[in-house]
Amino acid sequence: MNKSRPDSGRKAFFIKYRDVWGFLFLVVITLTVYWPVQKYDFVNFDDGLYVSENPHIQEGLTLKSVIWAFSFSEKENTYWQPVTWLSHALDCQLYGLQPGKHHLTGLMFHLANSLLLFMVFKWMTGAFWRSAFVAALFAIHPINVDSVAWVAERKNVVSTFFWMLTMLSYVYYTKKPALGRYLLTFLLYVLGLLTKPMLVTLPFVLLLLDYWPLKRFFYGQLSGNENGGRTKTEMPEFKRFSLFRLIVEKIPFFILSGLSIVLSSLSVQEKVSSASLVPMDLRIANALVSYVKYIGNMVWPQGLTVFYPYPQMVPAWEAIGALLFLVCVSVFAIRSIQRAPYFIVGWLWFLGTFVPVLGLVQTGLWPAMADRFAYVPLIGLFVVFAWGVPQICQNWNHRTIWISASAVFLLLILTTVTWKQIEYWKNSITLFEHNLRFTSNNHVAHNNLGVALDNQGRTEDAIEHYLQALRIKPDYVKTYYNLGVSLNNQGRTKEAIEYYLQALRIKPDYAEAHNNLGVVLDKQGRTEDAIEHYLQALRIKPDYAEAHSNLGVSLDKQGHTEEAIDHYLQALRIKPDYVEVHSNLGLSLDKQGRTEDAIKHYLQFLQIKPDYAEVRHNLGIALNKQGRTEEAIEHYLQVLRIKPDYVDVHNDLGVALNKQGRTEEAIEHYLQVLRIKPEDVKAHYNLGNALSKQGRTEEAIEHYLQVLRIKPDFDQAHNNLAIALFRKGNIEGAIAHFKKALLINPDNIAVKKNLKKALVMQ
């Protein structure tokens, strides 16, 4: 009898479920490498713009935030990307501002992209190992770390998710063309463009796939072994068409690409860089050199970092050398089109998908190159590598062993390098210190490292980095602004004003600089000038909550309480959880006698910051005004649990207790004040009143005398001292203090009556 061999059974089992094993392998390596990102912070490079300082995103998925996401307004230096904004808003809805959760979402999208990439190429080519290898390279190559570990790059991983889904749907359509399948592909492409306009090149990629591996062209298809050593029977069969028909099929996609380009151009707030700032010849030269550098970073991923400064010039030999290299490879790809169709497809994928991010058209802060730009383009080179190496080695002895061992070794190396690369994204300091180690003349890295250091209280170190940034780029407006912030925090107000003014000379519509300059001017007592700058900030940025709040404070200071209240309410409309505004608005409303409204805002503040002693104290005062003494006492006691040496609260609590007849407890709180602050006038005065109420006149007199020693013009203290002296039979002394009280306040009727009574008794 023939017995089946156990290893053949295991092999059959593996083959039967090998797609599942492929998915599990990709899941394990991706999560193993990237799992640490869930412990990382937001960084100060665009994360604030997209999430951590964006009030529209932080309110979560609401009708208001959805409308904002689809609008063109208030999106400085960002193009139209509504689905990206909604993705961030959903994260805030689910997790608030927990950075680790936001990182985890990005990781899940990257994992999904890797699995979809594997699925698409496996379905198109039937080549399991090659498809798995392409997906593995994509999953763990260190050049993709920026896209995964950077919260602000959510647009990259989400748009690629729709890119992969569009490709998958397209393959589904090509297997059996039908209107429903075509419309599904089109819808997925629309969602991708709504996430990031870089997908404008996807229709061209679909045409490339039509040539290989889908083989939908009549022209140029071999009937034999064209799949890098694979037989024709391993390739899925698709119906073939003329090139013209395939282009016509993509026309709706091309129209959508054009529309996306137009919308993106309209949505960008900052003007496209003019040729006088970045000459076109420099942009072209940099683009050519960047192509070669991206290939270098793929092959040898050393010194990868977040920002590569744009060069002042590119040596002619570099640009010419890069051009010759690209031309030579392109010629080789064309000449290999019959025996290695994957080469021309992968190469053109690489060249074409990079076009939108080469910097030929620039907006905002544009780098020389960026690792995140390579997220999709390098897939083309991964395909060339995965299909090319087996074809080159097809005549080797033991080629399967050699190729397998080499692939495992390469993936292990990439895993190690990626693991190390991810560590730099822990926080802004580790990120930009690494950035400065591998780049020179990097004003952005110096500036952002300065911000991170300043946030840690290392202001002197921060200022040094800001000055370095200005030495490199003397017109870098953000650094002037940040220097103003740091110097103001150090109390160097005059210097801060100079730097804010310099920022405004470079960029007159810099709303944040106007706002902060207003704050500094207000500190100097120049309230009118401060108000003018707040108004300027609001003309530029009408929904600027901080400017509304600061303007409210300045107006209130000038006695324009009604206008101040209007601006506080505007600030809360924009940013409902703006705690400082709730406090200031409460004070203004209380000043107007609208105590009930004031109490509501104090309570809203305390819902957000329950341990904020000053606001709880103000709430107690407001409740006491309404006669809700018991509630006031409870809040005063809570304040003292938070801040036991808060003398004003001890005083106010003493007054409230005294009002309830709990005089002994009141006295204890007045004494507590005097232990903390022996010269406190209010405590001496209140203690004198409480002691007098208890008939302890001698002690009361002593405290009234203390009050008048510290504050001789306190008319009510003169009056109460006179009453105490009168009780003690010292009529002359009483008359003298009644007269002093009237000299200070001649209209005090009660003192006049007391003086008249004392004179009669005399």
| CA-closest candidate to residue 555, choices 537, 532, 578 | 532
**What was the pLDDT predicted at 78?**
81
Q: Binning pLDDT at 50, 70 and 90, where does residue 5 land?
A: low
Dihedral sign for Cα 681, 683, 688, 693, please.
positive
**What was the pLDDT predicted at 395?**
82
pLDDT (average), residues 159-178 = 96
Amino acid symbol at 474: P
Q: Binning pLDDT at 50, 70 and 90, where does residue 576 land?
A: confident
CA angle 276, 282, 287 (to 5 degrees): 135
Q: Binning pLDDT at 50, 70 and 90, where does residue 223 land?
A: very low
% the chain with pLDDT above 70: 93
**What was the pLDDT predicted at 217?**
81
What distance in Å separates the CA atoms of residue 157 and residue 177, rounded to the nearest whole number? 29
Say whether pLDDT at 19 is over 50. yes
Say whether pLDDT at 732 is over 60. yes
| CA-closest candidate to residue 737, choices 723, 753, 748, 757 | 723
Q: Binning pLDDT at 50, 70 and 90, where does residue 230 land?
A: very low
Say whether pLDDT at 551 is over 60. yes
**What was the pLDDT predicted at 728?**
85
The answer to whether 187 and 224 have CB atoms below 8 angstroms apart is no
What distance in Å separates the CA atoms of residue 497 and residue 444, rounded to the nearest whole number? 22
Of residues 235 and 245, which shows the higher confidence score? 245
pLDDT (average), residues 111-138 = 97
pLDDT (average), residues 224-248 = 62
Say whether pLDDT at 1 is over 50. no
Cβ neighbors of 260 (< 8 A, separation 6 or more) are 193, 197, 199, 200
pLDDT (average), residues 724-741 = 87
Say whether pLDDT at 518 is over 90. yes
Say whether pLDDT at 232 is over 50. no
Say whether pLDDT at 275 is over 50. no
Q: Can the peptide bond before residue 55 be classed as cis, meaning omega within 30 degrees of 0?
A: no
pLDDT (average), residues 168-195 = 96
Q: What mean pLDDT is reported for the chain?
A: 91
pLDDT in tens, 245-268: 999 999 999 999 999 999 888 877
pLDDT in tens, 383-413: 999 999 999 988 888 888 999 999 999 999 9
Kindly report the backbone phi and psi dihedral angles of residue 213, in degrees, each rounded to the nearest multiple of 5, phi listed first.
-95, 0
**What was the pLDDT predicted at 231?**
41
pLDDT in tens, 406-459: 999 999 999 999 999 999 999 999 999 999 999 999 999 999 999 999 999 999
DSSP state of 372: G
Q: Binning pLDDT at 50, 70 and 90, where does residue 14 land?
A: low
pLDDT (average), residues 364-388 = 94
Q: Which helix (H) or strand (E) holds 465?
A: helix 459-472
**What was the pLDDT predicted at 464?**
97
Say whether pLDDT at 227 is over 90. no
Say whether pLDDT at 479 is over 90. yes
Q: Can the peptide bond before residue 746 be classed as cis, meaning omega within 30 degrees of 0?
A: no
pLDDT (average), residues 554-558 = 94
pLDDT in tens, 525-537: 999 999 999 999 9
The answer to whether 447 and 482 have CB atoms below 8 angstroms apart is yes
pLDDT (average), residues 198-207 = 97
Q: Binning pLDDT at 50, 70 and 90, where does residue 727 land?
A: confident
Say whether pLDDT at 737 is over 90. no
pLDDT (average), residues 563-589 = 92
| CA-closest candidate to residue 662, choices 672, 653, 671 | 653
pLDDT in tens, 45-56: 999 999 998 988
pLDDT in tens, 294-342: 999 999 999 999 999 999 999 999 999 999 999 999 999 999 999 999 9
Q: Binning pLDDT at 50, 70 and 90, where does residue 726 land?
A: confident
| Direct distance between the N- and C-terminal alpha carbons of the chain, in angstroms, rounded to an integer | 139
Between the CA of residue 165 and those of 37, 189, 238, 310, what are the distances in Å? 25, 8, 19, 34
% the chain with pLDDT above 90: 77
**What was the pLDDT predicted at 290?**
97
Say whether pLDDT at 494 is over 60. yes
What distance in Å separates the CA atoms of residue 569 and residue 622, rounded to the nearest whole number? 20
| CA-closest candidate to residue 556, choices 521, 595, 590, 599 | 590
User: Over 511-551, what HEC string results?
Assistant: HHHHHHHHHHHHHCCCHHHHHHHHHHHHHHCCCCHHHHHHH
217, β-bridge pairs:
241
pLDDT in tens, 596-628: 999 999 899 999 889 989 999 999 999 999 999
Q: Residue 525 region, left (φ>0) first, then alpha (ψ -120 to 50), else beta?
A: left
Of residues 517 and 222, which shows the higher confidence score? 517
Of residues 728 and 35, which shows the higher confidence score? 35
Q: Binning pLDDT at 50, 70 and 90, where does residue 684 land?
A: very high
**What was the pLDDT predicted at 9?**
59
